[in-house]
Amino acid sequence: MKRLFPILVVLSAIFLAYALHLSLGKGTPTDAQQGDVYRIIYYHVPSAWTAFLLFFINFIASIQYLVSAKASTKIAAKWVVIGVGVVGGIACFLPQVQHLLPTGMRPSAVATTVLAIPAFYFVIGKFFPGERLDMLAVTSAEVGVVFCTIVLVTGPIWARPVWGIWWAPGDIRLTSTLVLWLIYVSYLVLRRFSSSAQTQMLAAALAVFGALDVPLVYFSIWFFRTQHPQPVIGGGGSMDPRMLHVLLISWMAFLLFAFLVCWSRFRLEGLHREIEQAHAMESLVGAGVAAKASLPLGRSSS
């Protein structure tokens, strides 16, 4: 795996450079209404999608960490996840449920998203057992906050020339995205500064609560009247195939880059915990030696 990392770094650099070239190149058409400022979408949208994926991974890892304390709870959670995947996947094709979906949203896309929950649950549980779940949770949250920050920065940069303002306080998508960012920043602050024995459990519970804001962010422009642009992919929207091609390439580049950052951060987190355990063992051994040295010398029997 260590030999694979430099190769992926090179590929990531190539993908990012190629995506930048396409997004700024003349081969990509200019938006008829917004002009060239629209090109920030090739960084804004892939950053949002990547952040959502990382927060989703954090959500799954946090749930598994919470239920891992008891074997019975862990088994029950597995069956609940399976039930959610089966029932949710079938329900998306029922006419009563399809009627509730936003116009243009395909039931197959919703079903795929629902089925991703058990898929991620079992994959993460297999490859990240025990304490590695908590390591994955904190890693995905940290990198997710970085990409969410990019979303909050690039959004106002686009909004200023298009809307004439940097921020629309009443816009539900903008507000919910900011709340999402604040929740996960609070999660990281809790992990960093709390020394309680229950810190990991409390952080996992906060992560589960924070993940509930992700669907609100995503579906807000379908169910609420907002100043934010309506969806250009799904939901009745449309996009020039050349623009969509560049957008997907940019997302793939961002995903590869996020994977590499998570990989490095995960290894660093593991080393950090090994050092902490070593220091704790040294402290215990030192305390034991000091306690033994302080005992009075016994008298030998005659």
Residues 173-197: tens digit of each pLDDT? 888 889 999 999 999 999 888 777 7
- Taking only the tens place, the pLDDT of each residue in 256-278 is 999 999 999 999 998 988 888 88
- Taking only the tens place, the pLDDT of each residue in 1-28 is 678 888 889 999 999 999 888 888 776 7
Residue 106's SS3 state is: coil
Could you tell me which of 247, 179, 237, 241 has the C-alpha nearest to residue 43?
A: 247
Could you tell me which of 261, 256, 264 has the C-alpha nearest to residue 14?
A: 256
State pTM to two decimals. 0.87
Kindly compute the dihedral angle of the four CA atoms of residues 272, 276, 277, 281, in this order, to the nearest 10 degrees: 150
Q: Tokens 């002009």 identify what position?
A: 35
Q: How far apart are CA 95 and CA 115, in angstroms?
A: 19
- Taking only the tens place, the pLDDT of each residue in 106-156 is 777 778 888 888 999 999 988 998 889 999 999 999 999 999 999 999 988
Report how far apart, in Å, the C-alpha atoms of 2 and of each of 98, 101, 241, 260, 274 are.
47, 45, 38, 12, 19
Q: How far apart are CA 300 and CA 128, in angstroms?
A: 55
Supply 26's token pair: 């003349």
Residue 35's SS3 state is: strand
Partners of 35 in beta bridges: 31
Share of the chain residues as helix, strand and coil, in percent rounded to the nearest 5: 75, 0, 25
57 Ramachandran zone, left/alpha/beta (phi>0; psi -120 to 50): alpha
Q: How far apart are CA 273 and CA 253, in angstroms?
A: 30
Beta carbons within 10 angstroms of residue 146's beta carbon: 14
Could you tell me which of 143, 89, 113 has the C-alpha nearest to residue 266?
A: 143
Alpha-helical regions (H) of 68-130:
71-91, 95-98, 107-127
Q: Would you say 48 and 231 are in contact if contact means Cβ atoms under 8 Å apart?
A: no
Average model confidence (pLDDT) across the chain:
83
Q: How far apart are CA 198 and CA 194, in angstroms?
A: 9
Taken as a whole, the chain contains a residue count of 302
Q: What percent of the chain shows pLDDT beyond 70?
A: 86
